[in-house]
Structure 1
Amino acid sequence: MSKLKNREKNTSSHTELKKAYMPIYPMIQTPQKGNGSSALRSRSIPISTPRPVKLKEFKLQTNFAVKAHNLDGWKISKGVSKNANVFLIMGDYPDLRQALIERGWVENTDKNSLVFNLVWARSAKVPSKLQEDQIINHFPRNFELSCKWNFCENIKKIKKLYDVDYNTFFPRCYRMIGKDYEEFCDMFKTYKALSILKSYSSLKGGCYEKVMTALNVVKRWMHFIEKNIKVDYDRSLNLIHSNEWKILNSNNAHEVVNEFQKYNTGKISTQPNSLSQLVDETLEKLSDLDPQMDVCGNKNVWIVKPGSKSRGRDIMVFSNIEEIKSYTQNSQKWVVQKYIENPLLIQNKKFDIRQWILVTNSEPVTIWIYSSSYLRFSVENYDVGNLSNKFSHLTNNSISKYSKKFGASENGCMWHTSQLIDYIRERYNKDYWRESILPKIKDIVKWSVLSAGYLGRKNCIELFGYDFMIDNALKPWLIEINSSPALDYSTVISI
């Protein structure tokens, strides 16, 4: 199975490009030239300006004036036609090489040469010696999207710039440093309270003192949301107090009761016979205030990722804050993200969706989405009770291949999108993929690219690998964005 179904050939015209990619709609609007300084334009791309993006032809067949004497001299020495375009590939990209050759391009195999019209490199760094008209498959600032450490902060800017709430499509994410670290600790403890309420609601039972404390915390959180109150750690304005956390985090029943009575003596408490109704009403109200309420389950699980690594390296899943602190105490840049505890499962396995995105211009922003995508399944059944089993929680092929069960998995733990579409239609009797999931994915792609601001340099293109998850309400969530995604074949059978 190839990662890309029906690999359309690389195109040299707008018409051919549309066979493989679709433009992102609605059109992204960008400022007209002359409106404000270049510094302002590079910081962000407002959507309030009237001129929409015009889809540009993606031309690779143009002759370039790149050190013409060197390029012409190279062609003469190699017996190459004067009108031929020259490409250089750094890495193993057989399909790309074949597609360019079929279009009459000529390969320069000298990896150290600067003689080319187009270079396709795995490294996301843009060489400083490139001439203005040479094309490279990376933007200088692509790391603003593909580096988890940077993207974690950039995506939060779109609320102010475009009035779009990232919480509706990107699970809460924090850098383990400074105020972000404090905010994560506060939110972890608040979600602990929420998980206790959810567990009590589903089981209709639990420790009264813990449930009452969790109610107080969640109600305070809802008040902060409704009144738009900002947490201020310098003034000790937290979502959760130390005595409350001691109660919620303790497994000692005697300690919990004593601590609860210590801080609640003389206060009016809810009677146990009315507690269940109050919990359900609180959860229902919170679902209207917090778009990520359903992402939190009964376990309060979080996923820890290195800020600049890929392919699942060093990723771990935890439900204990002390374990998270211990795991992230070294100098490596870490991000901690809320784990989606309500994933859509197929045959008891979780999956993510790899969607190819092609950006062909940074100003004006021009984005294309590949017309098909594919699913990557976990090797083993989803089990939120066993967080140490990576094969149950991670879907990266580079992780799954080490499982003893990988060889026995059907289709190499992968599906094509068409199989997902058929599955959803058969199960829900409706084509939710085309009606709601894909349109939402397009919006997420658009806002994520805009959050990075100006990507830099004309004559750059970039293929990004977007990873999405679908929850059990068929809502898509952006997990991460990959630059220089692997294009090698992952399965034996081509589809």
Structure 2
Amino acid sequence: TMLSHHGLKRSKKRKSNNVTSNSKLKKIYNISATQEIESYKIKTEPEFKIHSGVHEYDVKRLSGVFVVKPCSFENRGLLTKKSSTGVMKSSKTEEERPPKKLSTSVVGYKSQKTNLNSHGKCSPHVDDTNPIQRISTHHSITKYIMKEDQNMSTISKKCREFLNLVHQAIKMQKIFSIGNSRRAFSPIRKALKARGWVEKCSAEVLVEEDTHTKTSEIINRLLKECNANFIWVINSVDFGSIRDGTIVSRFPKSNHFTTKVGLCSFLDEFHWFYEPNISKAVAPRTFKIVTEEDIDNFIKEFGLTACVALLKIIVNQVTTAESDHFFRNGKVPVSVVDFANAQCSEYIQHRQHDDIDRQESPPTTAKDWTDFLTWFSRLAHEDEKFQTTTYPMIQALYTMSKITLKNIEPYWPLFEVEGWKNLWVVKPAAEFCGRGVKVMRNLEDIICNVEAATDFRMGRHIVQKYIERPLLIYNTKFDIRQWFLVTSVYPLTIWFYKECYLRFSSQPFSLVNLHESIHLTNNAIQRNYSNNRHRDPKLPQENMWHSSKFQDYLNEIGETDKWKTVILPGMKQGIVGAVLASQDDMIDRTNSFELYGADFLLGIDYIPILLEINMGPAMHASTKVTGDICKNGLEDVIKVVLDTKRNPKADTGKFEMLYKQELGPRPHHTGELELLVAGTKIVPDRRIKK
């Protein structure tokens, strides 16, 4: 636009050999695109020359149009001439014209005589006989020619540098590829490019994300026959088509502890991998529903948990001086307390192995359990009361319940934080981001939900005890997303990220309302709901806190030491314990690594409780908090994976070595065993009769 204001017009390819002198577009020849004009001389004559090193250009003024051409073309008869009809003609045919021009744009300078210039600051008329105006006109065109040639020279230089970078990347095996959702992993791309890597994109990615440019087209053409040396996996990857030397952000068979069913199975065997102050997995009681027997086992656990919860209710009511109100004018018989004590005592004897030599007690019938669970539900969820009871009887029930709870606590994980409502979480095994997760209180509803959802095909759900006494911030539930990086399976090597973030619910906490907006803190769930207008204004609007903000909060409430003495060690030990428990099921690959996201819930005692571990955690900037921490976290992953290979003492950002297994004999992984017994039939010897 600026050039047009000064009379400069962009020329186009003409369809014939003639150009009308009255046309706005005038045909001129480009100067060399690869040469930089080092000196030029302004002259007042209609014809003058521009020198650029060994090159020389003729500049002629014809009817107010400046025609620029290399001098070497002069003998070919390519100079334009003005005919008697006012038409500019070439003295040679189209086939005899010079080869394709190097410059991408052709510029003409139109004389001001035509009065077509509408720019207010420009003179509407230029007098060719005036030397001052002629010098000014010549100066403008030669100055533009020099600037245009310099720009093309710069572009050419950048092109050469770009091609050299690509060829160097091929030589050094620095070609990387990122799957779908490339925008979310732009820090990975920038970090790799800063280290001299070149990206190879698939055609599908370019089309889907509208990133098809000439640069990417050139790269893909150059890298067409080259394999990627670094692959950042988003969804899945076929390891059979990847060379052993390729670095991949995924381990083969990586669904070990990242699936709800898998983590449940490994945590059941965790006691074999316990190491003091190193690995200790604290997790809610979890049951995978695979067979009908699993459902029966869960039903028994549900009933026993209700017995423990009832005893907690008795102790709590008597301790808080609510016994007179709680044991008066109600409908619940006192016999349910005796039933709960009896069931808990039997469980304690079983755990202490005292039931081996004793005589078996009469089995509890299904009707007994149904009646007990009905009365318990009315007490815990409907605010029902006991029948009128004397004070001595109340004290006896209190004493008996307190002793039973004390004896059962060593065999009851998370005794203090489970509460007394007997709430459970039903989770689909194959879903993520909180989809399909429900908090439920009724046994029949849980069983119906599992069976209906699985269509009688087991193994699709897990049932997990809900933590009813979590640590709350301003009466709002939250959890912690903590990253860790595994760079080797054997010896097991785990890196811990020094920063994490908290995810809040949008609604105040409640054990009466079991809606997902209250109890599920996943950002994918909470973004669907508006924040409660009555909640504390100190809570973040985007429902996220950086770990540093949480530490400031702990300092405000006088619990500064809890972060370093309880929370941080607990998360580290929980991660090590979970990975150690599943190590035998993992497949080692020399050039593989993987980033995981562990979700922890803090109990009322600040002890971290491992809820689940996510493969391929979300790393996009969903909020301001994640925008900062995710960018830095991805850049630090590259530091650990690439920089430490070249220099073991290289900077690893905010990743710190959490666990490195001592090297021992390498186990032979056989995968899924298919045992077969083969042999031949033994035939008895035949005795020869004499």
| TM-score of Structure 1 vs Structure 2, range by shorter chain | 0.7 to 0.9
Residue in structure 2 matched with residue 250 of structure 1 by the alignment: 374
Per-residue deviation, 1:141 = 2.3
Q: Judge conservation of contact 2:166–2:198 (CA < 8 Å) in 1.
A: no
Residue in structure 1 matched with residue 549 of structure 2 by the alignment: 419
1:102 maps to which of 194, 216, 220: 194
| In 2, Cα distance between equivalents of 1:116 and 1:240 | 65
Deviations 1:320-379 (A, max 9, x none): 111111111123610011111110000111111000010000111000000110000111
2:611 maps to which of 462, 479, 491: 479
Per-residue deviation, 1:145 = 1.1
Residue in structure 2 matched with residue 312 of structure 1 by the alignment: 434
- SS for the counterpart of 2:463 is strand
Q: Judge conservation of contact 1:301–1:341 (CA < 8 Å) in 2.
A: yes
| In 1, Cα distance between equivalents of 2:606 and 2:437 | 25
- SS for the counterpart of 1:311 is coil
1:322 maps to which of 432, 444, 447: 444
Per-residue deviation, 1:460 = 0.6
Per-residue deviation, 1:295 = 3.1
Farther off after superposition, 423-432 or 330-339: 423-432
Per-residue deviation, 1:443 = 1.1
Amino acid at match of 2:466: Y
Deviations 1:403-453 (A, max 9, x none): 022899724100111122222233244411111221121111111111112
| In 2, Cα distance between equivalents of 1:432 and 1:312 | 29
Q: Judge conservation of contact 2:418–2:469 (CA < 8 Å) in 1.
A: yes
Residue in structure 1 matched with residue 180 of structure 2 by the alignment: 91
Question: Does 2:297 correspond to 1:175?
Answer: no
TM-score when normalising by structure 1: 0.74
| In 2, Cα distance between equivalents of 1:479 and 1:448 | 11
Residue in structure 2 matched with residue 145 of structure 1 by the alignment: 257
Greater relative contact order (CA < 8 Å, ≥ 6 in sequence): 1
| In 1, Cα distance between equivalents of 2:564 and 2:423 | 31
| In 1, Cα distance between equivalents of 2:624 and 2:541 | 8
Question: Does 2:312 correspond to 1:194?
Answer: no
| In 2, Cα distance between equivalents of 1:135 and 1:397 | 31
Residue in structure 1 matched with residue 19 of structure 2 by the alignment: none
| In 2, Cα distance between equivalents of 1:381 and 1:392 | 7
1:119 maps to which of 211, 216, 231: 231
Q: Judge conservation of contact 1:406–1:412 (CA < 8 Å) in 2.
A: no
Amino acid at match of 1:98: K
2:424 maps to which of 288, 299, 302: 302
Question: Does 2:567 correspond to 1:441?
Answer: no
Amino acid at match of 2:396: S
TM-score when normalising by structure 2: 0.54
Per-residue deviation, 1:229 = 7.1
**Aligned 1:196-345 pairs, distance under 5 A:** 196-204=310-318, 205=326, 207=332, 208-227=334-353, 241-251=365-375, 271-329=393-451, 330=454, 331=457, 333-345=460-472
Per-residue deviation, 1:277 = 1.8
Amino acid at match of 1:391: S
Residue in structure 2 matched with residue 488 of structure 1 by the alignment: 620
| Distance change (3 Å), C-alpha of 1:253 and 1:99 | closer
2:489 maps to which of 362, 376, 379: 362
| In 2, Cα distance between equivalents of 1:218 and 1:417 | 41
Question: Does 2:597 correspond to 1:465?
Answer: yes
Q: Judge conservation of contact 1:126–1:138 (CA < 8 Å) in 2.
A: no
Larger gyration radius, structure 1 or structure 2: 2
- SS for the counterpart of 2:241 is coil
For structure 2, the 5+ residue unaligned runs are 1-162, 205-223, 319-325, 379-391, 629-690
For structure 1, the 5+ residue unaligned runs are 1-74, 231-235, 255-269
- SS for the counterpart of 1:415 is strand
Q: Judge conservation of contact 2:417–2:469 (CA < 8 Å) in 1.
A: yes
Per-residue deviation, 1:271 = 4.0
Q: Judge conservation of contact 1:466–1:481 (CA < 8 Å) in 2.
A: yes
| Distance change (3 Å), C-alpha of 1:314 and 1:237 | farther
Deviations 1:289-315 (A, max 9, x none): 323212321210110111121100100
| In 1, Cα distance between equivalents of 2:350 and 2:495 | 39
- SS for the counterpart of 2:611 is strand
Size of the aligned set, in residue pairs, is 400
- SS for the counterpart of 1:453 is helix
- SS for the counterpart of 2:563 is helix
| Distance change (3 Å), C-alpha of 1:228 and 1:127 | farther
| In 2, Cα distance between equivalents of 1:356 and 1:102 | 24
Per-residue deviation, 1:278 = 1.6
| Distance change (3 Å), C-alpha of 1:239 and 1:440 | farther
| Distance change (3 Å), C-alpha of 1:228 and 1:175 | farther
Deviations 1:227-252 (A, max 9, x none): 2879xxxxx99996524312311249
Q: Judge conservation of contact 1:126–1:136 (CA < 8 Å) in 2.
A: no
| Distance change (3 Å), C-alpha of 1:124 and 1:466 | farther
Q: Judge conservation of contact 1:190–1:239 (CA < 8 Å) in 2.
A: no
Per-residue deviation, 1:150 = 1.5
Residue in structure 1 matched with residue 499 of structure 2 by the alignment: 372
| In 2, Cα distance between equivalents of 1:280 and 1:137 | 52
Amino acid at match of 1:133: G
Q: Judge conservation of contact 2:417–2:604 (CA < 8 Å) in 1.
A: no
**Cα root mean square deviation, aligned:** 3.1
Amino acid at match of 2:345: K
Q: Judge conservation of contact 1:86–1:105 (CA < 8 Å) in 2.
A: yes
Farther off after superposition, 105-114 or 351-360: 105-114
Deviations 1:29-86 (A, max 9, x none): xxxxxxxxxxxxxxxxxxxxxxxxxxxxxxxxxxxxxxxxxxxxxx989545422511
| In 2, Cα distance between equivalents of 1:465 and 1:252 | 38
Per-residue deviation, 1:96 = 1.4
Question: Does 2:597 correspond to 1:451?
Answer: no
